[in-house]
Structure 1
Amino acid sequence: MDRENTPVASVQTVLSIVEYLEAVGSAGVTEIANNVDSSKSTVHNHLTTLRDGGYVVNEDGHYRLGLRFLGLGESTRLQTDLYEIARPQIEGLVEGTDLVGNLAVEEQGKGYYLYRSRGSDDVRFSTRAGETHDLHCSATGKSLLAHLPSERLDSLIESLELTEYTEHTITDRSELRTELELVRERGVAFDEEEYGRGLRCVGVPVFGVDDEVVGAVSLSGPAAEMTDEWYRETLPDRLRAAKNRIEVNLRDY
C-alpha cells in the first residue's frame, strides 16, 4: 500500500468541518455532524481541539471559524512577490470605475484570487480574496490555461469538469482548446457571460522571470456596460500596460 497516498480519515473530517463552517458561517455540533457524515462525539472532539488552538470559536453552542485563519491566509498570500507587486496596479485599474479588478493564480487545477478590488459600490460584486473559480470559463482562468506548458495543459484539460454555468459556457474540450489558441494569439482572454449571466470579464496573463505564466489580472463588470471598443480594445490595452509594469517589477524585485 502506498501510504503517502492513503487519506487520513481524522484529517479529512477536520477539513470537512472547517470547510462546512466556511460555507455556512456558524453551526452547532448536530448540524455539523449531519453534514460531514460523522458522529456528534467525533465532531465535538475535533471542535474542542480546534477551539483550543484558536481555529474555531464557540458562541453559545454554535461554532465559527476563528481569526487564527486570518493570519494563515495572509501568510500564504505573502509567499509570492506577485501579490505585493500587482496590488497597486489592480487598484490603479479600477480607480474611478465601476469595475472589479482581479489578481488570480492557478493551483491544482483551480483558479484562486489573491487580490480583488472594487472601483465603486454601484455594482456589488464579491471581492473576497481566496475565492476559487473554474479555469475554463473565466478570463483569468483562460489566460492562465492558455500559457501553461503543453504537457501540463493537456493534463489539466482532461481533468477539468467543464461545468456549464450559463448557455455561453464552453463545455466541449475541443472547443476549449480552440478558444485557448485564440487567447494565446491575441494575448487577452474574454469571459462572455460564461461564468454568470450579466457579467463580462477581460484578462491577461502575467509572466515571471523565467517567462512562465505566474498569474493573471482581469477586469470584471456588467455585460451591458462592457461592450464595443471599451471592452474589446480600451480595457485590454489598460490591462496590458498594468501587466507590463507588474512583469518589470517582478524582474527587479
Structure 2
Amino acid sequence: MTDAGTPKPPGPSTPPLTTVLKILALLDVLADAPEPVRVSALARAMGTSRAETHRQLITLEAAGWMEQLPDGAYRLTLRPAHLGHAALRQAGIGERTAPLLERAARQAGEVVSIAVLDTDTARVVQRAEPGRSLHATLLLGDRLSLTTSASGRLLAALCSPEIVRPLRERGVALPDADALAVITGTRWATSTDDDEDGITALAVPLRRQDDEVVAALSVHGPRDRVTTAEALAVLRPAAREIEALLRLDTGGAFGLHG
C-alpha cells in the first residue's frame, strides 16, 4: 500500500484515442493473417461487432491501407511498407550498413544502393558514392520501375509470391515470364535502359536467414564502365557482409533480431 504522503507517479497528460488504438490492433491482426480475411472473421478475432469492424475497414480503405476484393474479403495494400522502411532508417540500419556500401562504391567506382519494394515500385532506401565525379545520378528515395530498373526487376522476380501476387492482381506492370525466369536462374538482374546517356545497373538480392529476398543491392553507372563480371565481383561479397551484419531475420520486413 502506498503511503499517503508519497506522491503518485504522474499519469499521461493526454489519454490515447481509443478508436485509433482499436484500428492499430486491427492492423496487427491483419498483418498476421496469411490470406485476405472477411469482416466476420476479423470481428471474431477482435471481439467486436461486425458493424464496428466494417467501419474500421472502410476507414483504412479510404486511407489507402486496405483494399476489398471482389469476393468481399479485405487485405492490406503495400502502403504500410513505407512506414516499415522509414522505421528501419530511424532505427539506425543505415549507420550499420553505410561503411559497407561506401566500400563497395569505391571498389565499383560507381553509385551503390539498396532498394526495397514500395507499393508498385522499388524505392532507394540507402546509397553511397565512390567519391569522384559521376555521370549517373541515383538519389535517396528515388522510385524505380519494376520492369526497367535492375533493382525493380530483381525484386519482382525473387520476392516471395505472397508479395508479388497482389501487384499482378492489381495490374501493376511486371517483367514478362521469360525475363523473370532468367533472373530467377541467375539471381541477378540488369537494367533495360536504352536512353542515349547509356546508364545501366546490375542488382543482386539481399536475403533473410530463411533465404527470402527482401531487398536489392545494385551498382549504377554508365554502360561503358559497368560490366557484369566486375559488378558481381563487388556486389556479391558486399551482399553477404550486409546480410551477416544485419542478421536478417525470418519474421520481420527487413530488420535486426531483438
Same fold flag (TM > 0.5): yes
Which runs of structure 2 are paired with 1:204-243 in the superposition (5 Å)? 204-226=204-226, 231-243=227-239
Q: Specify every segment of 5 or more residues in structure 2 that has no aligned partner in the other structure, as ranges.
A: 1-54, 65-82, 249-255
Deviations 1:96-140 (A, max 9, x none): 654111111112222111111221443243343122222221111
Q: Is contact 1:139-1:202 (8 Å) kept?
A: yes
**Letter paired with 1:91:** E
Indicate the percent of aligned positions where both proteins have the same amino acid: 23
Q: Cα deviation per residue 1:137-180 (whole Å; 9 max; x = unaligned)?
A: 11111221211222432332343554xxxxxxxxxx5x622212
Q: Secondary structure at the match of 1:95?
A: helix
Q: 1:185-210, CA deviations, whole angstroms, 9 ceiling, x for partnerless residues? A: 11111113258851110110100234
Q: Is the 8 A contact 2:108 2:231 kept in 1?
A: no
**Which residue of structure 2 aligns with residue 91 of structure 1?**
102
C-alpha RMSD of matched pairs (Å): 3.1
Q: Which has the higher helix share?
A: 1
Match for 1:235: what amino acid? A
CA offset digits 1:48-102 (Å, max 9, x no partner): xxxxxxxxxxxxxxxxxxxxxxxx9x96452566534432221111116541111
Aligned equivalents of 1:134, 1:154: Cα separation in 2: 17
- 2:121 aligned partner: 110
Instruction: Provide the residue aligned with 2:187 in structure 1.
Output: 187
Q: For 1:81 and 1:138, how far apart are their aligned partners in 2?
A: 27
Structure number with bigger Rg = 2
2:198 maps to 1:142: no
Correspondence list, 1:1-253, <5 A: 2-7=58-63, 76-79=87-90, 82-95=93-106, 97-159=108-170, 161-162=172-173, 176-193=176-193, 197-226=197-226, 231-251=227-247
- Runs of at least 4 residues off by over 4 Å: 79-82, 194-197
1:196 and 1:86 mapped to 2: Cα distance? 33
Unaligned runs of 5+ in 1: 9-71, 163-172
TM-score (norm 2): 0.58
TM-score normalized by structure 1?
0.59
- Cα 1:126/1:207, change in 2 over 3 Å: same
2:78 — aligned with what? Answer: none
Partner Cα separation in structure 2 for residue 95 and residue 87 of structure 1: 12
